[in-house]
Amino acid sequence: MSNIDNVVNFIKKTPKSELHLHIEGSLEPELMFKLSKRNKIEIPFKSVEEIKSAYNFSNLDSFLKIYYEGSNVLITEEDFFDLTWEYILRCKKDNIVHTEIFFDPQSHTTRGIDFNVVISGIYKALTKANSEFGITSKIIMCFLRHLDEELCFDVLKYAINHKDKIIGVGLDSSEKGNPPKKFKRLFEEAIKEGFLTVAHAGEEGPPEYIWDSLNLLKVKRIDHGVQCLKDEKLVEKLKEKNIPLTVCPLSNIKLCVFDKLENHNLKKMLDKGLRVMVNSDDPAYFGGYLNTNLIETSKALNLNLEEVKILIRNSFKSSFLDENSKNNWLNKI
Ligand code: ADE
Ligand code: ZN
């Protein structure tokens, strides 16, 4: 068997965790179409094929426009349940045993959808995932960084009522021009309330946004972070503090952060000893779930079995699981 066949087999059969997945980004065109009919919500597409052919993006903002439009079909608790359950079935297929999912409440509450409807649908599906398949999960609530900090305080209040379900808060949406410092007070308050913090930084934005996420937002993980290699001092800091970087290779290609997968800097990050792992981000939009991300990236960057093992182990190590559960999975890889 060739080296790459070995790697592919290993990826498929090994238990894995995923730490960077927007649940709204797992909305497959088929379900989007079904929900648009069920809820009588107009979408600007006539067929599933038309939806799929609209998925050509030139940067993050061009994707976000379509992503928020797609989310408009999500109305009822059942819709959020169905969305999450479909992702869980993908987890089962890909042998993902633990997942930490983002949700964007403000893209729903601003349309008049009750926060409780959103969180209940997601949570019920995750509870079922645990009882039927043993899949464990955590929920991270993201603030939309293109909105004002003041508006984000409102949604933090909702999250406080659901501390039993939400482990942390994150920051996503349009990065350039919306620096972490805009949300310093909000994150201070979230930390006071006991939430862990993470933030998208250095996806398209400069290394300075990664520095500020660490220093001002006190994040436990950086989401993406691929721009860090532009700043040697930052790389040293990330290594010294063992900060996880939740890299999403297929996302970076679809959003033109790198021109092709062969030119992605994941291997360079690995070689520098950074704590990186692979994730799918918005798999319904970017052409693949976790196994596809791992397999395509391994092929394009010629990763060997040892490097793939490091990526998968890094994911468990960087998760918000308790130490016992982490060690339990790490011993199996
Ligand atoms: N929301 C969903 N996917 C995102 C991404 N890749 N970057 C920022 N915000 C997002
Ligand atoms: Zn993301």
The model's confidence at residue 3, banded by pLDDT at 50, 70 and 90, is: confident
Strands of 16-22's sheet in order across: 16-22, 96-103, 136-144, 166-172, 196-201, 221-224, 244-247, 275-278
Q: What CATH number does the domain containing 191 carry?
A: 3.20.20.140
Residues in contact with 127: Cβ distance below 8 Å, sequence separation at least 6, in sequence order: none
**pLDDT tens profile 118-164:** 999 999 999 999 999 999 999 999 999 999 999 999 999 999 999 99
Indicate whether residue 172 lines ligand 1 (CB < 6 A): yes
Q: If you measure from the C-alpha of residue 161 to the centroid of ligand 1, how many angstroms do you get, rounded to a whole number?
A: 25
Average pLDDT over all residues of the chain? 97
Q: Are 264 and 300 in contact (CB under 8 A)?
A: yes
User: Which ligand is in closest contact with the Cα of 25?
Assistant: 1
**pLDDT tens profile 37-60:** 999 999 988 999 999 999 999 999
What is the domain range of residue 175? 3-332
Q: Which one-letter amino acid corresponds to residue 325?
A: S
Number of domains in the chain: 1
Ligand 1 nearest-atom number relative to CA 251: 6
Residues 253-279, mean pLDDT to the nearest whole number: 98
User: What pLDDT does residue 157 have?
Assistant: 98
**Residue 2 predicted with pLDDT over 80:** no
Indicate whether residue 82 lines ligand 1 (CB < 6 A): no
At 26, list the tokens.
């797992």
User: Per the confidence metrics, is the pTM higher than 0.85?
Assistant: yes
Task: Tell me how far apart the alpha carbons of residues 193 and 143 are, in angstroms, rounded to a whole number.
Answer: 16
**pLDDT tens profile 57-110:** 999 999 999 999 999 999 999 999 999 999 999 999 999 999 999 999 999 999
